[in-house]
Amino acid sequence: MIVSAHRTHPGHKRKHNEDTVLAVPDLNLWLVADGMGGHDHGEVASALARDILLAAVEDGLPLDKAIQEANEAVCSKATGDYTGMGTTVVATHLDKNRFRVDWVGDSRAYHYQAAGDSLRQITTDHSYVQELLAGGAISPEQAENHPQRHVITQALGVTAPADLRVDTVKGKLRPGDVLLLCSDGLNNELDDEAIAEILGQNKSLEQKADQLVQSALDNGGSDNVSVALLALKD
C-alpha cells in the first residue's frame, strides 16, 4: 500500500550527523529526529528517542504516548556529560492511506497534493519565532531571517515531562500525493516552492529524496539534512 524512501547527510559545515531517521514499514512507522547538544550528545539524544519510541509503538502505544516515553528517557539520560542534550522529533504512523503525524520541536511534515500541485506544511514549529509570528509581532518575511529563528521552545530531553506538548495532525494520502518528514536542514535551505517542484516531478521516491538532499547541499548545506518520503503504491 505504501512506498517510502529516506536519506540523511551531515551537510557541508557539520563534522558529524546528529540527525536520526527511522523507517519501519512493517509497523507503518517513520520518524525524523534532529539531535542537539554538540558532538556525541545530539546523536545520543536522537538515537535514544528513536529506540524508545519504536519500542513503545511495538508495545501498542499511540505516537503521542510513545513520544512522551521517549522524552522521559532522554530527560533521564541528559545528566553529567550529557547535560544539555535534546532532540526534536516528527513521526508518522499510517493506516492504509490515512496518516497521523505527531511532533515536538521544529522538525516538520509537509503534504504534497498532486491535485492542484500544492505543498502544505502540516506541522507548526515549536519555536520562538513561530510564537512571534502567531502573535502578529513579526511578518512571515521577517520570520525567515530572524536572528532567533533557530530557538525552539519544546524538545525531548529539554522540556520537562509535565510541560511537554506533543501536537498531532491527521490526513489522507491520495494517488500522487507525497508525505515528507524532514529536519530543518532541508527547509532552512529550500523554500516551499523548491520542495514542491521536486516532489511534483515524475520520478521515483528514491530519486526525489536524493534530489531534495542534494539541493539542500547545493544551497549551502549548513546543517544536517534528513528526509523521509511516503506515498501510495501505483
For 69-150, list the strands marked E by DSSP: 86-87, 89-95, 98-104, 108-113, 118-121
Q: pLDDT in tens for each of the 234 residues of the chain?
A: 899 999 999 999 888 899 999 999 999 999 999 999 866 699 999 999 999 999 999 999 999 999 999 999 999 999 998 999 999 999 999 999 999 999 999 999 999 999 999 999 999 999 888 888 878 888 887 877 787 777 899 999 999 999 999 999 999 999 999 999 999 999 999 999 999 999 999 999 999 999 999 999 999 999 999 999 999 998
The full set of domain ranges for the chain reads 2-232
CA dist 74 and 95 (Å) reads: 28
CATH 3.60.40.10 fits 2-232, yes or no: yes
Kindly list the strands in the beta sheet with 108-113, ordered across the sheet, starting from the edge strand earlier in the chain: 2-9, 225-232, 178-182, 108-113, 118-121
Supply the pTM of this predicted model: 0.95
Read off the DSSP letter of residue 79: S
C-alpha cell at 95: 493506516
| Helix boundaries (H) for the chain | 42-58, 63-77, 128-134, 140-144, 184-187, 192-199, 205-218
